[in-house]
Amino acid sequence: NAGVTQTPKFRILKIGQSMTLQCTQDMNHNYMYWYRQDPGMGLKLIYYSVGAGITDKGEVPNGYNVSRSTTEDFPLRLELAAPSQTSVYFCASSYLRLEQYFGPGTRLTVT
Amino acid sequence: GNSVTQMEGPVTLSEEAFLTINCTYTATGYPSLFWYVQYPGEGLQLLLKATKADDKGSNKGFEATYRKETTSFHLEKGSVQVSDSAVYFCALSDRDNGGSEKLVFGKGTKLTVNP
């Protein structure tokens, strides 16, 4: 199993550009999550999904969108990038809702 | 809502020293408690967990006991190694009004172990 994979690993965006962060898991997990990690601030939940076709907002959803058309994939979309979205983004998945498996992260810089 | 407070870092120790990282929580109900570890350049990995009061989670020489009376879940290790250098996150489960269960994380404590 590859576990949770994320692409790209690094990205630099200009203000106002858009991009999609990809997340795929091969563990047949029903739950998937997107977090952002800012220095010294821990992890904040952006969006989560309890299964294909079902998504819900987390703590910091503004400026982001998600979709979940399959069990495996949970992309995160940034429509109009802003400097405040400079962060490290982690995707995670779980089966029993509690024990989450994390991807390696995407480091995004918006300038 | 539920929240987690863990000790500020960074923490610097010599190899074979004793480690304690404090974590306290505020929660309604009976959450599960977790410690995650993040090695440099990687995502988070579950280190250990406890699902009810007085449970002790343990893994790789690390231990933490779920103390309901003090609302704490302190992480301990008797003899740290250089390879334990990482950021450690305390977390608890939090169920929203829709019944979906999510994790609430502390801010993380960076541990550096010197040879």
Query: Would you list which residues of chain B are within 8 Å, Cβ to Cβ, of chain A?
Result: 32, 34, 41-46, 49, 51, 89, 93, 98, 100-103, 105-108
Is the predicted pLDDT of residue A97 greater than 90, yes or no? no
Which residue in chain B is spatially nearest to A5 when comparing CA positions?
B43
> Looking at the complex, does the CB of residue A103 fall below 8 Å from at least one CB of chain B?
yes
Instruction: Please name the amino acid found at residue A19.
Output: M
- Residue among B89, B100, B110 with most chain A CBs within 10 A, to mutate: B100
Query: Pick from A88, A100, A106, A111: which is nearest to A36 by CA?
Result: A88
Weakly modelled stretches of chain B, pLDDT under 50: none
Q: Name, in order, each residue with C-beta under 8 angstroms of B29's C-beta and a sequence gap of 6 or more.
A: B95
Give me chain A's average pLDDT, please. 93
Which residue in chain B is spatially nearest to A93 when comparing CA positions?
B102
Q: How do residues A28-45 score in pLDDT, each as one tens digit?
A: 999 999 999 998 778 999
Specify the pLDDT at position B58. Answer: 97
Specify the pLDDT at position B103. Answer: 87
Set of chain A residues whose Cβ sits within 8 Å of the Cβ of B107:
40-42
HEC per residue, chain B = CCEEEECCCCEEEECCCCEEECEEEECCCCCCEEEEEECCCCCEEEEEEECCCCCEEEECCEEEECECCCCECCEEECCCCHHHCEEEEEEEEEECCCCCEEEEECCCEEEEEEC
Q: Name, in order, each residue with C-beta under 8 angstroms of A95's C-beta and a sequence gap of 6 or more.
A: A27, A28, A29, A30, A31
| Interface size, chain A vs chain B, as Cβ–Cβ contacts under 8 Å | 50
Q: How do residues A35-78 score in pLDDT, each as one tens digit?
A: 999 987 789 999 999 999 999 999 899 999 999 999 999 999 99
Set of chain A residues whose Cβ sits within 8 Å of the Cβ of B108:
40, 42
Judge: B32–A98 Cβ closer than 8 Å, yes or no: yes
Query: Pick from B43, B62, B94, B3: which is nearest to A98 by CA?
Result: B94
Set of chain A residues whose Cβ sits within 8 Å of the Cβ of B1:
none
pLDDT band at A98; cut points 50, 70, 90: low
Cβ atoms of residues B107 and B7 within 8 Å: no
Query: Measured on CA atoms in the order A4, A107, B86, A91, is the torsion positive or negative?
Result: negative
State the smallest CA–CA distance between residue B89 and chain A in angstroms.
8
